[in-house]
């Protein structure tokens, strides 16, 4: 009894053979046993078996497609012993080399290829070429006399040789296959004068290649007017390290002066504070022309006023607390 996997696989393969018959062969299972298949092979052209029709049998195990079938040739042919199992890599002689992806069509195509060789294996016989040709000529008549053949292939029991299978790719001996012409080499053909102007090759090359570097025009070539573009501003020269440090210290001093003495801030202090808050590093000329004055010059009037106030304060204290000494000093003066 066939397993479910074997039944599905063999049913699918039979439908494939009916829809798309393989070259030179046909096969079908028995109506009461899907594990036993019978096949017919046409003798391949250019061989000793050309013109023969060979009947054989495949017996699949219930574990198919994981185990290979046995292969037997039933029609006398001079290559295989009728009714004996044939040793092939796709038969049950070599289950270790079996591939579950192989199908009935694959097995029978391999059998045809092996039949056309003279390799010796189990199930083969050493028939002479004349014997093989004679058996090929009488193969169809022998098949029609077999009871099982009539039951399995009733449509192929007439006197006419059966026709089955797809087309065979190999040509017969009397057909000469012309070598294919080499592919034409593409050439550049100039366009006729009456046709539309062709696009210059230089334009196509310019569109597909990067632009070449601009060369200096000679005296005979008109200069190319460049497109109007906005020039980028030139970066300001950076000040030396010592000058930058001095500028930062001056800016910090100006900021401290503005923070501690708001009333005394002048134009120079405001400029220093503005420079201190600016992110851009001042240039050398700006630092040289707008350098901040020293603290003594900036606060000299405050110092003078403070000294005058101190003098007057001390004088008033002296007159109040030391009148005699003050009068004596005045008289002496």
Catalytically active residues are: 87
- Asked if residue 43 lies in contact with residue 51, where contact means CB atoms within 8 angstroms, the answer is yes
- Asked if residue 165 lies in contact with residue 28, where contact means CB atoms within 8 angstroms, the answer is no
- β-strand 53-59 against 36-42: which pairing, if any? antiparallel
CA distances to 35, 48, 67, 72 from 83, rounded to whole Å, are 17, 21, 21, 6
How many C-alpha atoms does 21 have within 13 Å on its Cβ side?
A: 17
Instruction: Spell out the alpha helix ranges (H) of the chain.
Output: 4-19, 104-115, 129-144, 147-152, 201-208, 241-260, 267-277, 284-289, 295-298, 300-321, 323-332
C-alpha to C-alpha distance for 250 and 47, rounded to whole angstroms: 110
* 3-state SS class at 40: strand
* 3-state SS class at 293: coil
Percent helix, percent strand, percent coil in the chain, to nearest 5: 40, 10, 50
> Tokens at residue 262, please?
């708001």
Instruction: Spell out the alpha helix ranges (H) of 44-96.
Output: none
Angle at 327 between CA 323 and CA 329, to 5 degrees: 120
DSSP letter at 39 equals: E
H or E segment at 54?
strand 53-59
Query: Quick one: which of 180, 169, 39 has its CA closest to 103?
Result: 39
């Amino acid at each position: 009894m066939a397993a479910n996997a074997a039944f599905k696989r063999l049913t699918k393969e039979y439908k494939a053979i009916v829809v798309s018959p393989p070259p030179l062969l046909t096969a079908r299972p028995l109506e009461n046993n899907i594990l036993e298949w019978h096949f017919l092979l046409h003798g391949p052209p250019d061989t000793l078996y050309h013109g023969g029709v060979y009947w054989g049998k495949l017996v699949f195990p219930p574990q198919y497609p994981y185990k290979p079938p046995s292969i037997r040739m039933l029609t006398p042919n001079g290559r295989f012993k009728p009714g004996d199992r044939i040793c092939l890599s796709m038969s049950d002689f070599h289950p270790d080399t079996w591939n579950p992806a192989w199908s009935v069509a694959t097995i029978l195509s391999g059998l045809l290829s092996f039949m056309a060789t003279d390799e010796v294996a189990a199930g083969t016989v050493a028939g002479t070429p004349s014997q093989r040709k004679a058996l090929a000529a009488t193969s169809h008549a022998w098949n029609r006399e077999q009871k099982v053949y009539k039951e399995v292939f009733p449509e192929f029991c007439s006197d006419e040789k059966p026709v089955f299978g797809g087309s065979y790719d190999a040509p017969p001996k009397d057909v000469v296959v012309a070598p294919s012409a080499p592919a034409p080499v593409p050439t550049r053909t100039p366009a006729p004068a009456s046709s539309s102007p062709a696009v210059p090759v230089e334009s196509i090359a310019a569109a597909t290649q990067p632009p070449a570097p601009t060369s200096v025009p000679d005296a005979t070539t008109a200069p190319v007017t460049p497109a109007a573009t906005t020039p980028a501003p030139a970066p300001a020269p950076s000040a030396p390290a010592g000058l930058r440090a001095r500028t930062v210290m001056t800016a910090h001093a100006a900021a401290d002066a503005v923070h501690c003495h708001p009333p005394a801030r002048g134009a120079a202090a405001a400029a220093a504070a503005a420079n201190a808050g600016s992110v851009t590093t001042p240039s050398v000329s700006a630092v040289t022309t707008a350098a901040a004055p020293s603290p003594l010059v900036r606060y000299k009037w405050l110092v003078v006023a403070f000294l005058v106030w101190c003098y007057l304060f001390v004088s008033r204290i002296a007159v109040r607390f030391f009148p005699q000494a003050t009068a004596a000093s005045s008289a002496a003066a």
